[in-house]
Amino acid sequence: MRDDDPLEQWLFTDQMRGYDKMPAKSYKQTRTVLRRLSAILDAPVSKKAKLTDSGISRWSMHVLDPADLSRACDLCRRLMARGGSGSTFVQEGLLEMIASTKDIASIPFWLEILDFNRPRDPFSETRRMYALAALARIALRHDVPERYGPLRTAVRHQNPEVRALAAYYLGRACLEGKNSPPPEVRAELKEIALRDPSFGPRFQARKVLQAAGEPAPLDYPRGMFLFKLALGGGSNYRIIAVRSKQTLDDLHYGIQSAIHWDADHLYSFFMNGKRYDQRYAFACPYEDNPPFTTEATIGNLGLMLNHKFLYLFDYGDCHEFEVKVVDIRPEAERSEYPCVVESHGKAPEQYPRWE
């Protein structure tokens, strides 16, 4: 997932530019670039111009007349199937155009995108994010009872990455403007938080519930989680036990004690293993951007056996450690936690000497 959330950008530009009151001249300019792209796609292979010659890109800021919605969707389908050099930039521009309409008629197109699959497609993750962000934008625009329906469909998708992202945007659509998820959405999120077979949807559903003022489920309230901290150097690692009711901050100090480092730097956890993905991030309590590690109770996170995540320590030296859930025990033994239960190999030096 990218750090720049398209929904965040769209809400800002909608407020600043007033897309609902665009002059006819803007629509005419958009029709011109759509005709240009159509001509490029229709041309014989030997005479095809560059796709970017259409003038469409993420940064072109063309606004689509709802009357041209079907045409833009068809061009995007052709472009997705075609691929090739420059297609990513043009696809992004088309998706921006289609999303700008905030039209309920675009919902089938956005749901269709979630199922589109082409081998070696580097744009697939971003395309899905555009689709789900656009569905959230439509839900925010149209105050009708079924406005959350498409996102609720997406949280049941067969792809766990789609389900996780759909849960995130369902939360955005429900909570933007300090609204509250309706009872049927809360019930669905609770079901996902407890029973989804993948970490991402469970985690995002719990975050939405907590943001809505509802406690997230606490897994194994009397139990403990065992985390394997990879230290590099082949088989070097530590296994650290933490109670379900303890926090990521406790895990941080358990890690520091296990490798005998000085815990005198800033740190973060990225629960999907992707550095700087703020949708899965917990910062240390000395920073300005919540949520904080002190608020992240281990048993509330939806962790599952064999799940891996990233621990980042010291933003200057950027020490990255992979952490893996290697065991979950319903009953914790009597001990002081966190504690090291297994140790193999030397830990890396915190401040290596350079000759």
Tokens of 197: 């077979």
CA atoms within 13 A on the CB side of 196: 30
pLDDT per residue as tens digits for the range 109-166: 999 999 998 888 889 999 999 999 999 999 999 988 889 999 999 999 999 999 999 9
pLDDT band at 18 (very low <50, low <70, confident <90, very high): low
Which sign, positive or negative, has the C-alpha torsion 277, 281, 287, 290?
Answer: positive
Token digits of residue 155: 């949280």
**Of 189, 183, 195, the residue nearest 207 (C-alpha):** 189
pLDDT level of residue 2 (50, 70, 90 thresholds): very low
Instruction: Specify the pLDDT at position 355.
Output: 42
Q: Which tokens in the block code for residue 252?
A: 């941080």
Burial (0-12, 13-18, 19+ Cβ within 10 Å), 161: middle
What pLDDT does residue 177 have?
A: 67
Report pLDDT for 300.
Answer: 97
Which token pair is 240? Answer: 């650290």
Average pLDDT over residues 71-77: 97
With 90 as the cut, is the pLDDT of residue 224 above it?
Answer: yes
**Residue 178 pLDDT level (bands cut at 50, 70, 90):** low
Q: Which amino acid is at 59?
A: W
Average pLDDT of span 202-231: 95
Q: Give residue 119's pLDDT.
A: 86
Separation between Cα atoms, residue 326 and residue 13, nearest integer Å: 45
Provide φ and ψ at 136, rounded to 5°: -65, -40
Q: Which domains does the chain have, with CATH numbers?
A: 6-211 (1.25.10), 224-344 (3.10.290.30)
CA 278, CA 5: separation in Å to the nearest integer? 10
pLDDT band at 21 (very low <50, low <70, confident <90, very high): low
Q: Any idea how long the chain is?
A: 355
pLDDT at 291 over 80: yes
Binned at pLDDT 50, 70 and 90, residue 14 comes out as confident
